[in-house]
Amino acid sequence: MLSLPEMGLYFSFLLFLIGLFTVMFRKNILVMMLGVEILLNAANLAFVSASRITGTMDGQVVMFMVMAVAACEAAIGLAMIISLYRAKASVEADDLKLLRG
- Architecture of 4-99 per CATH? Orthogonal Bundle (1.10)
Domain spans, the chain? 4-99
User: Does position 98 have pLDDT exceeding 70, yes or no?
Assistant: no
Q: What is the pLDDT of residue 64?
A: 93
Q: How confident is the model at residue 11 (pLDDT cuts 50, 70, 90)?
A: very high
Mean pLDDT of 12-36: 93
Model's pTM, two decimal places? 0.85
Cα angle, residue 100 at apex, residues 94 and 101 outer, rounded to 5°: 165
CA distance 71 to 77: 10
- Taking only the tens place, the pLDDT of each residue in 25-48 is 988 888 999 999 999 999 999 999
CA distance 38 to 78: 16
- Taking only the tens place, the pLDDT of each residue in 55-90 is 999 999 999 999 999 999 999 988 988 888 888 888
Mean pLDDT of 6-14: 95
| Beta carbons within 10 angstroms of residue 49's beta carbon | 21
Q: What is the pLDDT of residue 101?
A: 63
